[in-house]
A and B are shown apart, each in its own frame.
Chain A
Amino acid sequence: MARKLLIVIFIFTLAALSLLAIRQEQINTVHTMTVLHQQIARQETSLDALRFAIEEECSVESLGLFLATEVAKHE
């Protein structure tokens, strides 16, 4: 009887420990996902900033000004 009880306790202990390990792994995964999510959001922000910088540099006004400066330099 004692032996059976011990085996049950042992199995339950192992199961509880495994569940704890799984839970921890889950928490770690969620944390990593959140960090990645934030990194993606930051990269998107940086990309947007670059997109606008490129658009401004390539605007007709900027290009015209650049060309005028270059022409003046060469003259």
Chain B
Amino acid sequence: MNKQPAMQSRILWVMTLVCGIVFLALCAGFYRVISLKIDTPIELISVATPTNSTIPQIATRGSLLDRRGRILAGSRVGYKLFVDPSLVDDSEELAFELGEKLRLPPADIERKILERADSKYVVIDDLLEQWQVDLIRDSSYKCVGLEPRLVRSYPHGNSVASLVGLVGTEHSGLAGLEHSLNNSLGGTSGTLVRLRDIRKQTLWVDPKNYKPKNNGDDVHLTIDVVIQEIATKHLQAAVLHCNAGGGRVVVLDPKTGDILAMTDILNPRENWTQEVSDPLREIDPRLGRNRCLTDPYEPGSTFKPFIWAAATELGKVSVNEVLPTPSGNPYLTSSGRTIRDAHYYGPSTWRKVLIKSLNSGMAIVAERLTNAEMQKAITGFGFGSPTYLGLAGETRGLITSKKNWTSYTQASVAMGQEIGVTAVQMAQGFCAFARDGSLPQLRLIATSKNAAPIVRQAITPEIAKTTRTIMGEVMTEGTGKNSQSDLYTLFGKSGTAQLPKADGSGYFEDRYTASFIAGAPLDNPTVVVICVIDDPDRKIAHYGGEVAGPVVRDIIDDTLEYLGVPPTKLQVANEH
């Protein structure tokens, strides 16, 4: 009976002892924590590492994508390799090891370390490849580190260079779309602050100190890389073939107003005066200006369809009216100005005036229009206003002011002289003929798959169709014969304008701007292409129909084939 209380007393004693020991240990631990916090020994301070570590959360810049999702410009995180020379025991040995592992010249590595031996940060390589990054991560160098950085890549090379532009060292847009779309593309980097132990293991992440990164938005463009390549290839070949100073091409879809391709080439030539120059492009092709938007040129005869359509719509002349165009001698206007034609056909119908590109016929009808009517016709097609594509540096073109507008201007503008237009303005205006007479708002950013809003109704659908049909005849009977396609029925117009002198003292007698604008297929236009060749070598060729026409034809053929549009000419042949 006495055993039980003795047993209980023994258990109680053991429990007291155990609890006492544990309690004392906890108190001792608590005391040690407090004492280390209040009075940290110097020897511990020297080995203690900072407890907080900030990891940057690098936000990537949004990508520029073409209309099919191909990456034109995109960002990724790359890594720099750096060395802390203060932690290096033997720089020669380290340089040798790193050089062997990463296939870098050891002498260069050692030189970089020794040059800044007293610093704590020496960059060995600005951008490592992935396999090099993996090797460094797997190694255990204390003095070697990786630093993340953003890298902007342009996988499709230089074919879209001046359009896309480039970014600077801070990854903000400097030129082109990179600059215009900087707000959408740019992201905001974040930070993650972590509490870590001496072994650098994360102990805690305070949500209050976590700032998430915000990646930039991707932007889909209306450009198609394949069509851009097609345009660049044909333009490059033509510019080199005729030893021209440069060339420009714009390809667009008239139904939606989408720009499918826009290319601009320069061909610096020796011993030529007044060459087209772009100093920034010489530094970097991506810094160059986009001449399709920034440089106006005299369109020459490619401008005639606009005046032709406007005069017809105003009832100043009918399509089959015979005009007193000269048979052999130049035409004299009522103000005594001499108007020359390339060929003289005698009295011709208004239709033939456009097909054969008769300056005299255009001058005769221009005299029937008032100055205000002519000016309204020009602005109605969008000339004199920017297209608001969203790219920096776009010009509105050059139009003589109402105050200075004379009868001389009236005749000149009807022939495409004394007016400055951009290739993009021409393409937009030409859309009126490819559509129902309305001008679409041109787009470079694919906001939706629907058709773009209409800027204005330039001419009636009937006049648009009539002009288009007659421009179809330009390709078979007129100045577009050399540019006729074997696959598709084209409608278009050529232009050969004398090059104005930069000092304003008139025009060069033997230097030209050759251009050609066309759309296809005639019955259901899917594409409009304009090609402007700057100052082709006259000894080789200089007429628009000869130099720029074949470029437009080849681009149309390849583009429509790529877009899956069945050849209209073969269809007609098969039906027969």
Contact = CB atoms under 8 A, between A and B. Distances in A.
B203 A31 contact: yes
A6 B15 contact: yes
Contacts of B12: 2-3, 6
B70 interface: yes
A50 B71 CA distance: 13
A13 to B, nearest CB: 5
B153 interface: yes
B133 to A, nearest CB: 8
Given A13-B19, A55-B70, A60-B229, A34 B194 contact: yes
B390 interface: no
Contact of A31 (B22, B77, B202): B202
B448 interface: no
B201 interface: yes
Given A52-B71, A52-B74, A59-B155, A30 B202 contact: yes
Nearest to B25: A13
A44 B226 CA distance: 28
Contacts of B205: 30, 33-34
Contact of A60 (B19, B153, B226): B226
B508 interface: no
A13 B130 contact: no
B87 interface: no
Given A6-B19, A45-B77, A48-B77, A27 B204 contact: yes
A51 B26 contact: no
B223 interface: no
A70 interface: no
Nearest to B226: A60
A54 B70 CA distance: 11
A41 B76 CA distance: 11
B195 to A, nearest CB: 9
Interface in B339-394: none
Contacts of A16: 26
A33 B194 CA distance: 12
A45 B76 contact: yes
Contacts of B15: 6, 10
B76 A30 contact: no
Contacts of A60: 156, 159, 225-226, 229
B159 A61 contact: yes
B31 interface: no
A67 interface: no
Nearest to A32: B202
Interface in A25-44: 27, 30-31, 33-35, 37, 41, 44
Q: A interface, how many residues as a size bin?
A: 20 to 34
A13 B76 contact: no
Interface in B155-189: 155-157, 159
B104 to A, nearest CB: 19
B507 interface: no
A35 B26 CA distance: 32
Contacts of A10: 15, 19
Interface in A1-21: 2-3, 6, 9-10, 13, 16
Contacts of B156: 55, 59-61
A46 interface: yes
B383 to A, nearest CB: 34
Given A27-B204, A45-B76, A48-B77, A55 B26 contact: no
B86 interface: no
A22 interface: no
A37 B16 CA distance: 47
A49 B77 CA distance: 8
A37 to B, nearest CB: 8
A13 B74 contact: no
A59 B77 contact: no
A63 B74 CA distance: 20
B70 A48 contact: no
B141 interface: no
B23 interface: yes
Of the candidates A2, A30, A37, A60, the one having the most CB atoms from chain B within 10 angstroms of its own CB is A60
A31 B71 contact: no
Interface in B248-273: none
20 contacts: A6-B12, A6-B15, A6-B19, A9-B22, A10-B19, A13-B19, A13-B23, A13-B26, A16-B26, A27-B204, A30-B203, A31-B201, A45-B77, A45-B130, A59-B225, A60-B225, A60-B226, A60-B229, A61-B157, A61-B229
Interface of A: 2-3, 6, 9-10, 13, 16, 27, 30-31, 33-35, 37, 41, 44-46, 48-49, 51-52, 55-56, 59-61
Interface of B: 12, 15-16, 19, 22-23, 26, 60, 70-71, 74, 76-78, 130, 153, 155-157, 159, 192, 194, 201-205, 225-226, 229
> Considering the complex of A and B, which 10 residue pairs feature the smallest CB-CB distances, nearest first?
A48-B76, A55-B155, A34-B202, A60-B229, A56-B155, A31-B202, A9-B19, A45-B77, A55-B71, A52-B153
